[in-house]
């Protein structure tokens, strides 16, 4: 059994090698992680979330066709000089924000062999300390402090912590599903007793799905090295976590009750853009006014509010 760590997690790993087929043809030439949510790439929100949670060291696990991500997190001296000459302080600080938010490193996955394989590429960067994994498709609203809570649970109990969301039984086959037991830590912190990757609906242990935030014990690397390909012929992080549970290592879940947008899904992506833009000081007042008129004019059968 791993003891609660003396050192808190400081590093974040963001796998970004996925193909983005759900957004073709947009993602033929632009990595899906750089599609804008209002005026920032989805990935910038993820890096900002890691930095806010006290994880300023970020490793992106990239692959072929993702060079634009490295360019995005690099400095742009020509652009900065041009904006400086124009005295355009607002845009200059927006450009700086995107590069100054964290120390971003890159490693290549080489072959697309699954999420577990992507995480394994971070072993040398992470070393022997707990670390966070943030999946780019899941955007957690900045006002909801999921990752901070997960880091606190990990610091208290040691082991690993995963983010969970009740997605309803009918949707569970799109996710890693978990069996859980209550803990004495309040209703949103549970002990994970079993995990299975994308089970058929009638075999799922619960309707609680793993969403894209993990705080992992470094022991996961040794397990991943021995994890055989699972669902879809890929090395699954879920399977490695199941092995940790079987070995008696603590794995906790934090059941999220806040705002999450799946920017890998077209409808959720559109909802995220509209919601976040409508809450902004610069765009919100005009957008909200327009939205009210737009909704009023929508034919009844066309309106499908969630």
- CA 62, CA 110: separation in Å to the nearest integer? 8
CA angle (155, 143, 90) in 5-degree steps:
115
Beta carbons of 177 and 92 less than 8 angstroms apart: no
Contact mark string toward ligand G1P, 141..180, x via CB under 6 A: ----------------------------------xx----
Q: Applying CB under 6 A, which of residues 209, 242, 251, 254 lies at the interface with ligand G1P? A: 209
The 8-class DSSP code of residue 143 comes to T
Q: Is residue 212 involved in binding ligand G1P (CB under 6 A)?
A: yes
ω into 2 cis (within 30 of 0): no
Q: Is residue 208 involved in binding ligand G1P (CB under 6 A)?
A: no
Beta carbons of 92 and 83 less than 8 angstroms apart: yes
Q: Is residue 197 involved in binding ligand G1P (CB under 6 A)?
A: yes
Q: Is residue 211 involved in binding ligand G1P (CB under 6 A)?
A: yes
Q: What is the DSSP string of 55-85?
A: --EEEEEE-TT-HHHHHHTS--HHHHHHHHH
Q: Applying CB under 6 A, which of residues 57, 138, 219, 249 lies at the interface with ligand G1P? A: 138
- Considering the complex, state which of residue 91 and residue 225 has its C-beta at the smaller distance from ligand G1P: 225
Within 8 A by CB and 6+ apart from 34, the residues are 41, 42, 43, 68, 69, 72
The CB-nearest residue to ligand G1P is 176
Contact mark string toward ligand G1P, 221..260, x via CB under 6 A: ---------------xxx----------------------
- Considering the complex, state which of residue 234 and residue 279 has its C-beta at the smaller distance from ligand G1P: 234
Q: Which stretch binds ligand G1P (CB under 6 A): 131-139, 143-151, 266-274, 287-295?
A: 131-139
Quote the least distance from Cβ 55 to ligand G1P, whole Å: 19
- Considering the complex, state which of residue 66 and residue 277 has its C-beta at the smaller distance from ligand G1P: 66
- CA 304, CA 306: separation in Å to the nearest integer? 6
Give the per-residue SS3 of 149-203.
HHHHHHHHHCCEEEEEEECCHHHHHHCEEEEEEECCCCCCEEEEEEEEECCCHHH
Q: Applying CB under 6 A, which of residues 9, 115, 118, 216 lies at the interface with ligand G1P? A: 115
Q: If binding means CB under 6 A, how many residues of this protein chain bind ligand G1P?
A: 14
User: Where do the H-state alpha helices sit in the chain?
Assistant: 42-52, 67-72, 77-86, 89-100, 115-120, 123-126, 146-157, 219-225, 237-246, 266-278, 284-297
Q: Which stretch binds ligand G1P (CB under 6 A): 34-42, 69-77, 141-149, 208-216?
A: 208-216
- Considering the complex, state which of residue 57 and residue 197 has its C-beta at the smaller distance from ligand G1P: 197
The closest alpha carbon to 235, from 72, 89, 119, 145, belongs to 119
Token output for 101: 């938010």
- Considering the complex, state which of residue 83 and residue 241 has its C-beta at the smaller distance from ligand G1P: 241
- Considering the complex, state which of residue 42 and residue 115 has its C-beta at the smaller distance from ligand G1P: 115
- Considering the complex, state which of residue 98 and residue 230 has its C-beta at the smaller distance from ligand G1P: 230
Binding site for ligand G1P (CB under 6 A): 115, 135, 137-138, 175-176, 197, 209-212, 236-238
């Amino acid at each position: 059994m791993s003891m609660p760590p003396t050192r808190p997690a400081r590093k974040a790993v963001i796998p970004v090698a996925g193909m983005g087929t759900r957004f073709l043809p947009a993602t033929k030439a632009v990595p899906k992680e750089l599609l804008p949510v209002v005026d920032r790439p989805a990935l910038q929100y993820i890096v900002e979330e890691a930095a806010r949670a006290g994880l300023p060291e970020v490793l992106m696990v990239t692959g072929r066709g993702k060079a634009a991500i490295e360019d995005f997190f690099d400095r742009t001296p020509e652009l900065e000089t041009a904006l400086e000459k124009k005295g355009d302080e607002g845009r200059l600080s927006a450009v700086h924000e995107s590069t100054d938010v964290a120390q971003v490193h890159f490693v290549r996955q080489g072959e697309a062999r699954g999420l577990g394989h992507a995480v394994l590429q971070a072993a040398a960067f992470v070393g022997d300390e707990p670390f966070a994994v943030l999946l780019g498709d899941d955007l957690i609203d900045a006002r909801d402090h999921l990752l901070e809570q997960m880091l606190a649970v990990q610091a208290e109990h040691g082991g690993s912590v995963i983010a969970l969301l009740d997605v309803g039984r009918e949707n569970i086959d799109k996710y890693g599903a978990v069996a859980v037991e209550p803990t004495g830590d309040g209703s949103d912190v549970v002990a994970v007793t079993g995990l299975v990757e994308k089970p058929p609906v009638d075999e799922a242990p619960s309707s609680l799905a793993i969403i894209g935030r993990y705080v992992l014990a470094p022991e996961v690397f040794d397990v991943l090295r021995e994890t055989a390909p699972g669902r879809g012929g890929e090395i699954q992080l879920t399977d490695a976590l199941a092995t940790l549970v079987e070995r008696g290592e603590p794995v906790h879940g934090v059941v999220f009750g806040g705002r999450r947008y799946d920017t890998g899904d077209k409808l959720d992506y559109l909802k995220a853009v509209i919601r976040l833009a409508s809450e902004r000081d610069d765009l919100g007042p005009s957008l909200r006014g327009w939205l009210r008129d737009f909704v009023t004019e929508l034919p009844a059968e066309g309106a499908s509010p969630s």
